[in-house]
Amino acid sequence: MSNVSGERPLLQSVIALTSASVLGAGGLLLGFALLVVTIAGITFVSGTTPSQFAFLVLSLVFVQGIGCAGVALSYYKLRPALAPRVRSLLDLAGDGEQFGLPAAVPSLRQAAVVLGGYAAAIVWVMLSGVLLTVIQNLRGERIQTGNNAAAELGQSNPELLLLLIPASVLLIGPGEELLFRGVVQGRLRERFSPAVGIAIASVIFAGLHIFALVGGSWVGNLVVVSILFGTSTVFGIAYEYAENVVVPSLIHGLYNATLFTVLYVSLALGDELQQGALMGLAG
């Protein structure tokens, strides 16, 4: 990944920031819109609302599958035709490079990055949970954090978590990382340094996920977003280092799968690990 220099750099930086934000938000919004339309159509035709299991399957297909992965791959395919027209319209210099979305079976070095990134994300959420507990003890009251919508369904029907565990690796991680690391971070890296590109992509990722939170106070939801920013930064660093979108996809998927597993076990055993797992879910 390398920065691109050209004429009118400020305008090109603004365009990169705007397009990255629109792509990130657009992928999620498209998925949610298709989900709502599909649920409404099923309800209208059948006269009954889909079960929780059907709702969860549809949300995975439309949000992570069509919304995130679909928008990412569409951008990758359409950009060679659209980018020259946009540059011509705005009288901008071309960068002479093709936009890349590198994906391959991880090498041994990249597999080590997956393990290191996964460990870092888990340590981060554990430390965040400890810090939150200390703050709550000092305040003398519990901070109400919002729950991930999928995890909220899992709390009322723990069997759904058994679907979310493999789906994290097979669909959630790949779909969201194709969009937020492959496209959003990749677009930002054309104009900004590695640190800035990772930070902005993480802000977009964490900020958009606040809409997936159910309940919680504004302070609690800000805590959750801060934790998601940290895990997103881990994903971003891994992508920058490995230059292979499969690497952050695996880290993200294994991370989510671990937290869904912890949540399932905590519900079965009544363990206090539940809050930490809920706070750390990245998507």
- Selected residue with higher pLDDT from 137 and 162: 162
pLDDT for res 73: 96
The answer to whether residues 252 and 177 touch, using CB atoms and an 8 Å cutoff, is: yes
Q: Compute the distance between CA of residue 145 and CA of residue 43 in angstroms, rounded to an integer.
A: 32
Give percent above pLDDT 70 in the chain: 91
pLDDT for res 7: 61
Domain assignment of residue 79, yes or no: yes
Q: Compute the distance between CA of residue 27 and CA of residue 79 in angstroms, rounded to an integer.
A: 16
Domain assignment of residue 1, yes or no: no
Which domain covers residue 146, as residue numbers? 9-280
Q: Collect all residues with Cβ–Cβ distance below 8 Å to 118 and sequence separation of at least 6.
A: 250, 251, 254, 255, 258
pLDDT for res 2: 43
pTM over 0.85: yes
Domain assignment of residue 2, yes or no: no
pLDDT for res 6: 47
- Selected residue with higher pLDDT from 171 and 153: 171
pLDDT for res 21: 97
8-12, 61-65, 97-101, 213-217, range with the lowest pLDDT: 213-217
In the chain, the number of structural domains is 1
pLDDT of residue 266 exceeding 90, the answer is no
Domain assignment of residue 18, yes or no: yes
The answer to whether residues 164 and 64 touch, using CB atoms and an 8 Å cutoff, is: no
Give percent above pLDDT 90 in the chain: 61
What's the pLDDT tens digit per position in 191-234? Answer: 999 999 999 999 999 999 888 787 778 888 888 899 999 999 99
Q: How would residue 246 be classed by pLDDT, with cut points 50, 70 and 90?
A: very high
β-strand partners of 214: 147
pLDDT for res 217: 81
pLDDT for res 182: 97
4-13, 17-26, 259-268, range with the lowest pLDDT: 4-13
pLDDT of residue 123 exceeding 60, the answer is yes
pLDDT of residue 250 exceeding 90, the answer is yes
Domain assignment of residue 4, yes or no: no
Can you tell me the mean pLDDT for 231-244? 97
pLDDT of residue 5 exceeding 60, the answer is no
| Full DSSP string of 100-167 | --------HHHHHHHHHHHHHHHHHHHHHHHHHHHHHHHHTS-----EEHHHHHHHH-GGGHHHHHHH
Can you tell me the mean pLDDT for 142-150? 78
Q: How would residue 277 be classed by pLDDT, with cut points 50, 70 and 90?
A: low
Q: What's the mean per-residue pLDDT of the chain?
A: 88
Label the pairing between strands 147-148 and 213-214: antiparallel
What's the pLDDT tens digit per position in 170-188? Answer: 999 999 999 999 999 999 9
pLDDT for res 59: 93
- Selected residue with higher pLDDT from 154 and 260: 260
Can you tell me the mean pLDDT for 4-33? 87
The answer to whether residues 49 and 217 touch, using CB atoms and an 8 Å cutoff, is: no
Can you tell me the mean pLDDT for 119-128? 95
Q: Compute the distance between CA of residue 83 and CA of residue 76 in angstroms, rounded to an integer.
A: 11
